[in-house]
Amino acid sequence: MTTVSGTTNDRPSAAPTTVRYGVIGTGMMGIEHIENILHLDGAVVTAVADPHTPSRETGRMVAGVSHPVLEFEHHRDLIDSGACDAVVIASPNHTHVEVLLDVLASDLHVMVEKPLCTTVDDCRRVVEAAESGPAGRVVWMGLEYRYMPPTRALLDELATGTAGTVRMVAIREHRFPFLRKVDNWNRFNANTGGTLVEKCCHFFDLMNLVIGSRPVRVMASGAQDVNHLDEVYDGRRPDVLDNAYVIVEYDNGARGMLDLCMFAEASKNEQEVVVTGDEGKLEALVTEGVLRIGRRKDGLHVVAEREVHDPDIKHQGLHHGSSYLEHLAFVDAIRTGDDPAVTLVDGLWSVVVGQAAHRSIEQRRAVEIAELLG
């Protein structure tokens, strides 16, 4: 039994004074997680794992500025090392199911990057594994777009009843193409789950959260029209969508819509979230850091606008500080024993909508959610 920072590796027990993190997958997002952890009080990265040697060495160097960091080629060796209290899984999407099942077989706290898995079936496997795990273990779904400061401000305002009963949610992301990843794994649906799972699970999660009801039907249109058309890897051409419209119908009668374009980097706002209820309308302009509030019920039809900043953010990173705020909540849950604010079930439902949208595009029809859940 290994004792570090006044606690043991057995669960359940008092939370450690210093939470020791292992990071599995040290590509771009793994480094993003390491940098956020380094800005947390009472947290340290003690180990990294990645089969890609340059990525692994970069992760060790970034994490080990002030202390030695263990370095593993295989994630199972990190899990078995006894050097960590919690792990972050930031490996390629198609590896999540194997890595997460191995972590869930241990007693380690875990945060897994989006998407939960690349298929609904694999998502259900890991949800079941998590539910049979030890009491007190925090299993956190990494959906940091919930923590974007303008989006959080929108959620807070929505909770006051400003918009009334939510009837419509419209989300627009007009952005740059997918970045290059190791071995170009993110150019193929088989590895990513498809663009509407890989990228857009964030937005379907926000729709599910705001509407507060289960999705029942998805209608989508999309294609690969501009990006990666001239690329070839090992004789294969990329097949990831670069634009789509998705409409989601919910059990309570509300609707959500996603407008995605990944060849629209010449945009002032990369992301916009609009929630309209029977009494008002809320708009989060994420890139600008602005929240707009409009009320129709008052009869004045005046729109108020305010800038949104979060003084708790110590590291902006790649996502406007949202990853830092997510980590702050995760480590707080570890220390307090609270339930995770974002669960694997949330991750499952975001993948369900994305996979239904892909099926709708492929088969040119509306897809019932029940088809994917059996």
Q: Are residue 177 and residue 125 in the same domain, yes or no?
A: no
Last residue of a domain, one of 143, 170, 201: 143
CATH of the domain at 14: 3.40.50.720
Task: Pick left, alpha or beta for residue 331 (phi over 0 → left; psi -120 to 50 → alpha; otherwise beta).
Answer: alpha
| Domain count of the fold of the chain | 2
Residue 9 has pLDDT above 60, yes or no: no
Looking at residue 193, its amino acid is G
Q: Are residue 169 and residue 292 in the same domain, yes or no?
A: yes
Q: Are residue 209 and residue 123 in the same domain, yes or no?
A: no
Q: What percent of the chain has pLDDT over 90?
A: 89
Sheet of 290-295: strands edge to edge?
Answer: 303-307, 290-295, 280-285, 271-277, 166-174, 255-261, 243-250, 215-223, 367-368
Q: Are residue 139 and residue 151 in the same domain, yes or no?
A: no
CATH of the domain at 325: 3.30.360.10
Task: Please give the average per-residue pLDDT across 155-183, as a whole number.
Answer: 96
Mean pLDDT score across all residues of the chain: 94
- Structure letter (DSSP) for residue 166: E
Q: Are residue 178 and residue 194 in the same domain, yes or no?
A: yes
Q: Are residue 160 and residue 91 in the same domain, yes or no?
A: no
Q: Helix, strand, coil: what percent of the chain each, to 5?
A: 35, 25, 40
Last residue of a domain, one of 105, 120, 143: 143
Q: Are residue 154 and residue 69 in the same domain, yes or no?
A: no
pLDDT in tens, 124-150: 999 999 999 898 999 999 999 999 999
What's phi and psi for 11, nearest 5 deg? -125, 150
Res. 325 pLDDT band, cuts 50 70 90 = very high
Res. 7 pLDDT band, cuts 50 70 90 = very low
All residues at 6 or more sequence positions from 15 whose CB lies less than 8 Å from its CB, including other chains: 7, 334, 335, 336, 337
Q: Are residue 228 and residue 122 in the same domain, yes or no?
A: no
Last residue of a domain, one of 96, 118, 143: 143
Q: Is 196 helix (H, G, I), strand (E, B) or coil?
A: helix
Q: Are residue 220 and residue 326 in the same domain, yes or no?
A: yes
Q: Are residue 169 and residue 296 in the same domain, yes or no?
A: yes
Question: What is the per-residue DSSP string for 24-60?
Answer: E--SHHHHHHHHHHHTSTTEEEEEEE-SSHHHHHHHH
Q: Yes or no: say if 321 and 306 are a contact pair by the CB < 8 Å rule.
A: no
Q: Are residue 14 and residue 126 in the same domain, yes or no?
A: yes
pLDDT in tens, 274-291: 999 999 999 999 999 999
Residue 55, domain extent: 3-143
Q: Are residue 88 and residue 167 in the same domain, yes or no?
A: no
